[in-house]
A and B are shown apart, each in its own frame.
Chain A
Amino acid sequence: MPAAGVVTIAIIVLIVLALVYYLVATIFQLQRITAGLDDVIKSVGEIVEKSGPVNAVVDDINANLDAGVELLEGLLVKKAGMGDALGLVDGLYPGAAQAGFRAFPESREITPPRIAEVYTRGTLTLARLGREAPIATANPAGPVLRNIEYGSLNARLLYPEARQSRPERLERSPVIGTDAPVQYEPPEDPSRPRKRFRRS
């Protein structure tokens, strides 16, 4: 056999060997890829299965929370009025008035009163409770009353003086009962106050 034939055969054998080596190695890698993709598909299937009902549940939660927010905003606006309601919310959560109330788009146009700057938080609590709140004794447009160090005293000073600095002069609450020092006669006329006499 001539030398050229030997070289040809050798080259062909080398080509076949190269093909076998690289293709087998590639097949092994592709098998590993297939196994990995099987794991991925399994996990992704679990993710799809688990996250399937999430949208409906979250939508329901959001709907309930929206209803709660609208209810509370509506109640606050109804009881405090739009301006004061915005002022109260802005006092508790500074900057919240800019976003306004969801159910009241016009609330974004209103400049909230500086309630939190004029009144203490205790006063705001009383204001939120409604009656007997001294919130009307000062004007939000006036000077700031809030004092960080003596905030509670400022709040108390908004009440009548007799309640703050001279509580000892207040008349004591009446003691009632058969052994009470002051006995009250049965009223002759319900429209008039009862006569009282000291028991001897």
Chain B
Amino acid sequence: MTLWWIGNAVLLVVLVVVILLLSGVLKAATSIVPSIRAISDAASRGSKDLDATALLLTTQDQVRQTVAVVANYGGSLDVILDDAEER
């Protein structure tokens, strides 16, 4: 009978340990959820921000045209103006 009561005491300790461990696991899992939501929101906003990247193609085209115009303008200036050594 004494051994039985000792076993009950051990089981009681096991109950407390189980509750403590599982409580820690639940607390950790609960704390992850807000972080996941924040990450999800940030990723969603980042994805929306990147919608403008398609405009880079327009920028690329405009830069090409601008540099081409500048090159033509520079070529004309090269013809019109004297070089530094010639003056």
Give the residue of A14, A61, A68 whose beta carbon is less than 8 angstroms from that of B15. A14
A–B pairs, 8, beta carbons within 8 Å: A8-B8, A18-B19, A21-B22, A43-B43, A50-B50, A61-B59, A65-B63, A79-B82
In contact, A71 and B82 (Cβ under 8 angstroms): no
Known contacts A36-B37, A54-B53; is-contact A46 B22 (Cβ 8 Å):
no
Q: A25 contacts which chain B residues (CB < 8 A)? A: 26
Q: Mark contacts of A45-80 with chain B using CB atoms, 8 A cut-off: 1 yes-contact digit, 0 otherwise.
A: 011001101100110110011011001100101111
Q: In chain B, what residue has the closest Cβ to A29?
A: B29
Are the C-beta atoms of A5 and B67 separated by less than 8 Å? Answer: no
Q: A interface vs B, CB < 8 Å? A: 2, 4-5, 7-8, 11-12, 14-15, 18-19, 21-23, 25-26, 29-30, 32-33, 36-37, 39-40, 43-44, 46-47, 50-51, 53-54, 57-58, 60-61, 64-65, 67-68, 71-72, 75, 77-81, 84, 130-131
Contacts of B25 in A (CB 8 A): 22, 26
Task: Find B60's partner among A57, A67, A72 (CB 8 Å cutoff).
Answer: A57
Pairwise interchain contact A8-B77, C-beta atoms closer than 8 A: no
- Range class of the B interface residue count: 35 or more
Q: Check if A51 sits within 8 Å of B53, measured CB to CB.
A: yes
A30 to B80, CA, bound (A): 74
